[in-house]
Structures are given as C-alpha cells and as structure tokens.
C-alpha cells in the first residue's frame, strides 16, 4: 500500500469531485488529474436479496483499529434537509449492529472522486466515537462497476480489505496497473496475491455463491437509498449526504456529524 501516492492523487484531482450514477459507456480511464467518472447503465430494480442481516465478523474487521474518540458536539450551524442532505423515504440501515449509529460510504474503486475522498474519510473515521459504526459498501451500478464491487466483497470475505483498500485506488488511478474496463478475475487474483492472498483462492471466492449474496445486498441497499453518485454517505439508512449537496468533503463530513448527533439524541 502506498498512501503517499493516494495522497498525491487527492491533491491532483479537482476539489469536490464526485462520480455520477452511470448512464453511458465511458472512454478509457481518465488521467489522474481528471475526475474519473466511469458510467454504465444502472440496474432497474433491487436484487432479490434485500434482507439486512447483522454485521459479519469480516465487516466489523473493516472498521478502523484506532481507539474511538470521545463524543463531542458537531461544529457550525445545523444542516438543512433538502439542501445539505436528503431524507430517504422508508430507508433502512445496511447492517445494524448493537444499537450503534451506522454510517455507510457508498463508493466505487473506478471513481476518481472516491479516490480523492478516501484519505479524507480515512482520517475522519479514526475520530468517530465508539457508538458509530463505519461500513464501506461498493456501488455495483452495472458494467465495469460490478467486477470492482465483487473484488471488494471478496477481499472483505478474506479479511484483507485493511491492507488492500488504498492500494486498489492506487492501482486503478495512479499506477494504472488495473484497467477500469475489462478487468478479469485473474488480474484481481494477481493483485491480491501481492498482499498474501492465494490467487486461486481469491478467484474462487470472487466467483462464489456467497459473494453473490453480498453483492445483492449492496445493490439492494444502494437502490433503496436512492444513491445517485459516489462517494455518498448514508446515516442510519435515513439520510444521504453527497458532495454535490454540501459543496465540499469537509462540509459533507460536518453534515454527517450533525446527523449522527441527531440520531444519538433520538436514541
């Protein structure tokens, strides 16, 4: 993992970058200095697996290892619904855990905006109080988004996400060692083999039935949450916060902090 290269990317990419919900085929991967916003047709309806089971041990392992911070009130004025965030009608959490407040990041490895956001949100989630649970969920809008979503879930199932998450963004957007379009399970196997994973075992996991169930859960959650762009944060399944609404990553996270405090008061 080369965090320095990822941080360099965050400086090169334009401020407030985001990837819109895809609706057409992309060109070749954009240079790192541009907002890579690959696009394909999104699924018309949720996957059949729409249940919300309790969090798995692998999902819990994706949380930051740093000690949780003490609870502090959010700064600045309260955000305005419909302006700073969107209320999800009949929304549900992705994977509730012991009454914690859930924050889900819907992201895509092929999204340049997500690559820019990653070092920002990584620093932010280290400061989250103990009653907040942060969970990444890869967007699987269709086309080339799906193989990368499958790769995330396979890595999550094998317990290597902490070692490979930043490196995957780096491979796609900086090193260009993995293509946006046409990537194969074998290429993913070779990538993850560098982090101690047996390539054949990874490919088997990538193609497994259990992986289909995780992919379906992620698709269902994104559809139910009405995700239109990445990165988007979803608080307790009730509210979505995107950079397009807030106008910047720091304000986006501040809005989420206010919504966390709101949910904490409600509990």
Tens digits of residue pLDDT in 120-132: 999 999 999 999 9
Q: Percent of the chain, pLDDT > 90?
A: 67
Tell me the pLDDT tens digit for each residue of 17-60.
678 766 544 433 343 333 333 333 333 333 333 333 334 434 44
* Distant-in-sequence contacts of 177-181, Cβ < 8 A, 24+ apart: 179/29, 180/26, 180/28, 180/29, 180/36, 180/38, 180/110, 180/144, 181/26, 181/28, 181/29, 181/38, 181/143, 181/144
Vertex 95: Cα angle to 246 and 217 (nearest 5): 90
Which DSSP state fits 158?
Answer: T
CA atoms within 13 A on the CB side of 53: 10
Tell me the pTM.
0.77
- For residues 29 and 205, what is the distance between their CA atoms, to the nearest angstrom? 27
List the alpha helices (DSSP H) in 107-240: 112-125, 145-157, 161-173, 185-193, 199-206, 209-224
Tell me the pLDDT tens digit for each residue of 241-267.
998 777 799 999 999 999 999 999 987
Taken in order of first residue, the domains within the chain and their CATH numbers are: 3-42+54-266 (3.40.30.10)
């Amino acid at each position: 993992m080369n965090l320095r290269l990822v941080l360099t990317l965050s400086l090169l990419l334009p401020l407030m970058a985001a990837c819109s919900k895809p609706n057409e085929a992309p060109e070749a991967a954009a240079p790192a200095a541009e907002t890579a916003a690959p696009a394909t047709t999104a699924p018309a309806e949720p996957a059949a697996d729409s249940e919300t089971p309790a969090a798995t041990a692998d999902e819990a392992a994706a949380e930051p290892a740093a000690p949780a911070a003490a609870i502090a009130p959010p700064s600045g004025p309260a955000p305005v619904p419909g302006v700073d965030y969107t209320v999800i009608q009949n929304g549900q959490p992705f994977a509730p855990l012991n009454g914690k407040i859930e924050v889900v990041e819907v992201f895509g490895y092929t999204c340049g905006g997500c690559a820019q956001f990653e070092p920002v949100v990584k620093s932010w989630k280290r400061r989250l109080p103990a009653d907040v649970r942060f969970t990444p969920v890869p967007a699987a809008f269709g086309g080339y988004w799906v193989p990368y979503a499958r790769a995330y879930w396979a890595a999550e199932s094998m317990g290597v996400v902490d070692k490979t998450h930043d490196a995957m963004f780096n491979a796609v957007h900086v090193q260009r060692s993995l293509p946006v379009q046409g990537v194969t399970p074998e290429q993913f196997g070779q990538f993850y083999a560098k982090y101690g994973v047996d390539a054949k075992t990874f490919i088997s996991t990538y193609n497994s039935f259990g992986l289909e169930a995780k992919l379906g859960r992620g698709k269902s959650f994104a559809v139910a949450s009405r995700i239109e762009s990445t990165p988007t944060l979803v608080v307790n399944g009730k509210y979505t916060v995107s950079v397009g609404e807030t106008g910047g990553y720091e304000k986006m996270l501040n809005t989420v902090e206010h919504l966390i405090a709101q949910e904490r008061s409600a509990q």
